[in-house]
Amino acid sequence: MARDPDEARYDGPVLDDLREIRSLSKAFARYFAHGAPRLLALQLGLALAARSMAGSPTLVELWILVGIVIYWPLQEWFLHAYLLHMRPRTLAGRRIDPLAARVHRAHHRAPWSAQATFLPVKVLLLLIPLNFAFWWLAMPTRAASLTGIVGFTLAAMIYEWIHYLTHTGYRPRGRWYRRVWKNHRLHHFKSERNWYAFTAPWVDVAMGTSPDPSEVPTSPTVRSLGIDG
């Protein structure tokens, strides 16, 4: 069976080694050299411009943003645990293996490679119209819809930035970022079955996936996720 070309491009040599990035300024400059951050920045700019022409903010919009702040870390955990770590399966004779899961396996195999660190542009091009449609249909006003799009897009950009930064050679300084950095390194190099959370490490505590690292044996499948090829 021919491989998806988008999958293949993540399985090659490390062409853009993130370990070479050791400062925030260099990290920031390289961040926008990639398709996903540029696409999200474009979406955010357009949504902000549209929202600025939709009238004064309301209390409803404040609660929308609060809801996104609460929901986003939970989404990170569940999508990481159940979609990105989804094993290929066969249903009615058809192999089910989403691109997001294939790219994530490539990311575990080559954690320093920029190619597999960001969300695939193909996936974003599918998610963006779905995101717009959800907020447009679910919210009572155009302003509220645009606020939801702004908040969700900003959350995605923050996630992409922090995830990317943890895979660079930049060393953490602040207490929160040190914890995020440590947990994500443990997920990649200690056990792929723990430390799924990202921007909110407390979610791992709540879900029981933040054990004492000294009590967790190093998984022999932490790089392959137990799947060959």
Structural contact between residues 61 and 149, judged by C-beta atoms closer than 8 angstroms? no
* Sequence-distant (≥ 6) Cβ neighbours of residue 131 within 8 angstroms: 149, 152, 153
Element spanning 188, H or E: helix 175-189
Measured CA angle at 81 (ends 217, 189), to 5 deg: 35
> What is residue 108's predicted lDDT score, i.e. its pLDDT?
95
Give how far the C-alpha of residue 30 lies from the chain's centroid of Cα atoms, to the nearest Å: 17
Structural contact between residues 187 and 195, judged by C-beta atoms closer than 8 angstroms? yes
Structural contact between residues 131 and 152, judged by C-beta atoms closer than 8 angstroms? yes
The residue with tokens 């357009």 is 46
CA distances from residue 175 to 73, 111, 155, 165 in whole angstroms, order as listed: 18, 23, 20, 15
> What is residue 5's predicted lDDT score, i.e. its pLDDT?
35
Nearest of 151, 185, 172 to residue 67 by alpha carbon: 151
Structural contact between residues 99 and 120, judged by C-beta atoms closer than 8 angstroms? yes
> What is residue 15's predicted lDDT score, i.e. its pLDDT?
52
- Return per-residue pLDDT of the chain as tens, 229 residues: 334 333 334 444 445 789 999 999 999 999 999 999 999 999 999 999 999 999 999 999 999 999 999 999 999 999 999 999 999 999 888 899 999 999 999 999 999 998 889 988 888 999 999 999 999 999 999 999 999 999 999 999 999 999 999 999 998 889 999 999 999 999 999 999 999 999 999 999 999 999 999 999 999 999 999 887 5
